[in-house]
Structure 1
Amino acid sequence: MCDTLVATPEVTANGKMLFAKNSDREPNEAQVLVMVPAADHPNGSQLRCTYIDIPQAAHTHAVLLSQPFWMWGAEMGANEHGVVIGNEAVFSKIAPNQKPALLGMDLLRLGLERGSSAQEALGVITQLLETYGQGGNCGLTHPFYYHNSFLIADAHEAWVLETVDRLWAAKKVVGVASISNGYTLGSEWDMASPGLVETAVQKGWARGRADFDLARCYADALYTPLSDSRRRQSCTVGALQAEAGRLTAASMMAILRSHGSGGPDRGLLGADVCMHAGFGPVRNSQTVASWAAELGEQPVHWVTGSAAPCTGIFTPVWMDAGLPDYGPAPSAKADELSHFWRHEALHRQVLMGYEERLGRYETQRDALEADFVRRAAAVGADSSARRQLSAACLREAQAAREEWLRAVQQQPAMQRPSWLYRRAWAGFNRQAGWKERK
């Protein structure tokens, strides 16, 4: 379960497009930040995506990606032209294709590599969707199949794109929008594939165009409610609307940390914007990476590269400045040398006494992050200065994290989480080969 949100320049504090996303996947499904340079490719080249080969483009743009370690595609990313995309799993009455095809994450990366604007990226995705289809297993340890929605933005415009198999509809965003794990488009859109309405009519879900509503006609009746997407979308849209005219990158980071239904260990059902895994088949999803972006002449991308933004910190990255050193690429097995798993030492300690342990460093974290935002705004246009600042912020965040870990380890958990919650996390830890740091 994920959430992606956008605020267009008309409603932001500085007139710049804002974008943000939490990527929710299995708790041990580490995500890696990668930067892929622009490249030219010989005629007739083939590209291997996660499961299938397709013809390679003559030229691909430089991209910055946050991707599950095991797949070619990405959950969220940006390119050198200031285009950003996030995707969401959506569930339809039409069963998703289980045969290998393009994953939604593959389509996201292809849109970034081949689209120099938001609308061009949208065209890339929809053309490839119609040609090759979407499908294949999207899960790491548990088979998981779904359709996809996308939020695509550049400095000037943003689009919501929702798909059902090879069918799709897209609507331009004015103001604020968010997508979760449910269809949001109704009877209005700006572009759509042939057959979108006709298919619903043939299946008896609508009488005609006047009666057609995409969400009502196509959304399934089980997984969509279980994803809690309507409540999460209401939370993010409400938060965006409440700050309309004052929205900043820091606002987007704060929304990604939202907990609308209590602490991480509550219940067997439900989901939050900042998602924590728990006990049961519905609670096996965890926010494993987060991203916020401010798009303009020099887009700045605020990334965690780690799980649970409520326990972590965002640091800045610029496309033309390169990535700082995040250590070796992570896998599903614990590795203290990787950035993702080093944060897990703190994150998993906090979960066992959430309120008290997060309280030991949350104020310091917020102050440090605010300082990063201030320094990023003042750094100027020199790419070498931005490169130095990006590396310095990451180093300072990592040093602070070690201090916070020591403080958390000294904080007794006055209210231990439920037995079922502790049992679930003991299982996740065993699967990762996790050994608690002393």
Structure 2
Amino acid sequence: MCDTLVALPAKTKNGHLILGKNSDREPLEAQELIRFARRECEEKQVACTYISIPQVRETFEVVLSKPFQMWGAEMGVNEFGVVIGNEAVFTNVKFRKDELGLTGMDLLRLALERSTTAKAALPTIMDLLEEFGQNACGGYQNKDFYYHNSFLIADPDNAFILETAGKSWAYRKVENTGSISNGLTIGEDYLEVNWKNEPRNFQKLFAGKRENFREYFSDLLYTTAGKSKLRQACTLGFLEKKEKPGVLDFIQALRQHNVAYGEFESKKATTGSICMHATGFTNPSDTTGSMVAEVRKGQPSTVWLSGTSYPCLSLYLPIYFGKELDPKVFSPGANPDQSLWWQAKKIHQQILKNYKKLQSEYRMQLDEIQTKWIEEDFKLIQLGATEEELQLFSSLCLDQYMDLLRKYRT
């Protein structure tokens, strides 16, 4: 399960587009933070998660948050300020498991590497979907986890919601604020639609009528079990209550458990939480990574990335374009190591044993630090800080975070 939300510049505190996303995955599927520079490509093929496809002549600089073992990414931003988050959606279109295709994460990364605007990212994904499909397992240890995808795609000026079912798709433009979760939302309000598939039991259920994309393709059972409507209402309602939401508001939105503050118990968590805590078969996912991107026009963008699980127990680090991310810190493996993700996981596991008592104190420290970081980032951008000054600030934030984790380990 995942959630993605966006506010356009006219709606936000500082007049810049902001997009936030939680990546909900299997609990031990560590999330990697990685940056790829712009490059001229000599190879003719690019090996994605399951299949190889033709490579383009040039790929753009990207900052990604992705499952450590996947080629594609859950969320990311490119050098032009194109930012994308994707969601698993459950449809009644059959998967052809004998015809491997691209994952939704592959489509997201390919769109970021190849698109200079949000509007250009739309046909990039549509064309790839048409040619290669999305018959691909999205799970880690769960090899039966297949799903289709929706995307929230934005740049400094615009945002679009693109939803898919097999090779079918529909998209609409976002006005002011928008959010998506693990269910189709586009009915008849699409700007464009492409009907390529028929649902299972097509003749019996629909008798040839196609108008409403959501009703036509939704799988009611999985969509309902995932409580996507509840979570979408939670994130969208949070934004709409804020006259001018800023970065900290987005972080707070992504930390929600959809219950009154202080009443949440991680052992009783459900799929209705925005910050997801796995509890078993009916609620198998943790939030394993989170991002809030403030995308600026004519100024450096700031990509706030947790690089850790559980937003309610995490800080968001400011990441800027232009510098490689240290793989020793940001590239975790399958087993516990010295990376940020696994070191934070140790602290999280301690707190989860007595969440109500320990989370409050820890969260107070996080909030104080996070607020100062956001204020300092604003000052640096306003003063026209150099790339070196921004990178130094990012490094200092990381040092402070690692010091905090060491304090709690001892």
Contact 1:34–1:65 (CA under 8 A) maintained in structure 2: yes
Q: 1:186 to 1:329 in 2, by over 3 A?
A: same
**Aligned match of 1:349:** 350
1:392 aligns with 2:393: no
TM-score w.r.t. the length of structure 2 is 0.93
Q: Which runs of 5+ in 2 are unaligned?
A: none
> 3-state SS of the aligned residue for 2:85?
strand
**Aligned match of 2:293:** 293
> 3-state SS of the aligned residue for 1:327?
helix
| C-alpha distance in structure 2 between counterparts of 1:3 and 1:53, whole Å | 29
Q: 1:232-311 counterparts in 2 under 5 A?
A: 232-244=231-243, 246-261=244-259, 263-267=264-268, 269-279=270-280, 281-296=281-296, 297-311=299-313
Offset, 1:283? 1.6
Contact 1:25–1:285 (CA under 8 A) maintained in structure 2: yes
Offset, 1:404? 3.8
**Aligned match of 2:20:** 20
Q: 1:148 to 1:259 in 2, by over 3 A?
A: same
**Aligned match of 1:368:** 369
The answer to which of 125-134 and 312-321 deviates more is: 312-321
**Aligned match of 2:335:** 333
**Aligned match of 1:34:** 34
1:8 aligns with 2:12: no
Q: 1:122-133 counterparts in 2 under 5 A?
A: 122-133=122-133
The answer to which of 258-267 and 341-350 deviates more is: 258-267
> 3-state SS of the aligned residue for 1:159?
strand
| C-alpha distance in structure 2 between counterparts of 1:277 and 1:110, whole Å | 30
| C-alpha distance in structure 2 between counterparts of 1:400 and 1:236, whole Å | 29
**Aligned match of 2:316:** 314
Contact 2:293–2:303 (CA under 8 A) maintained in structure 1: yes
Offset, 1:268? 7.4
1:73 is matched by which residue type in structure 2? G
| C-alpha distance in structure 2 between counterparts of 1:223 and 1:300, whole Å | 35
1:91 aligns with 2:95: no
> 3-state SS of the aligned residue for 2:313?
coil
Offset, 1:89? 0.4
| C-alpha distance in structure 2 between counterparts of 1:255 and 1:270, whole Å | 16
Offset, 1:11? 1.2
2:59 is matched by which residue type in structure 1? T
Q: Which runs of 5+ in 1 are unaligned?
A: 407-438
**Aligned match of 2:47:** 48
Q: Deviations over 1:98-130 (max 9, x none)?
A: 342100000000000000111111111111001
**Aligned match of 1:192:** 193
> 3-state SS of the aligned residue for 2:182?
coil
> 3-state SS of the aligned residue for 2:312?
coil
> 3-state SS of the aligned residue for 2:371?
helix
| C-alpha distance in structure 1 between counterparts of 2:130 and 2:203, whole Å | 19
> 3-state SS of the aligned residue for 1:366?
helix
**Aligned match of 1:416:** none
| C-alpha distance in structure 1 between counterparts of 2:405 and 2:33, whole Å | 19
1:53 is matched by which residue type in structure 2? S
Offset, 1:96? 3.2
**Aligned match of 1:105:** 105
Contact 2:33–2:330 (CA under 8 A) maintained in structure 1: no
> 3-state SS of the aligned residue for 2:373?
helix
| C-alpha distance in structure 1 between counterparts of 2:333 and 2:94, whole Å | 30
Q: 1:193 to 1:31 in 2, by over 3 A?
A: same
Contact 2:62–2:113 (CA under 8 A) maintained in structure 1: yes
Offset, 1:198? 11
1:167 is matched by which residue type in structure 2? S
> 3-state SS of the aligned residue for 2:266?
coil
| Alignment size in residue pairs | 400
> 3-state SS of the aligned residue for 1:340?
helix
| C-alpha distance in structure 2 between counterparts of 1:109 and 1:393, whole Å | 27
CA RMSD of aligned residues (A): 2.0
| C-alpha distance in structure 2 between counterparts of 1:107 and 1:181, whole Å | 17
Q: 1:179 to 1:368 in 2, by over 3 A?
A: same
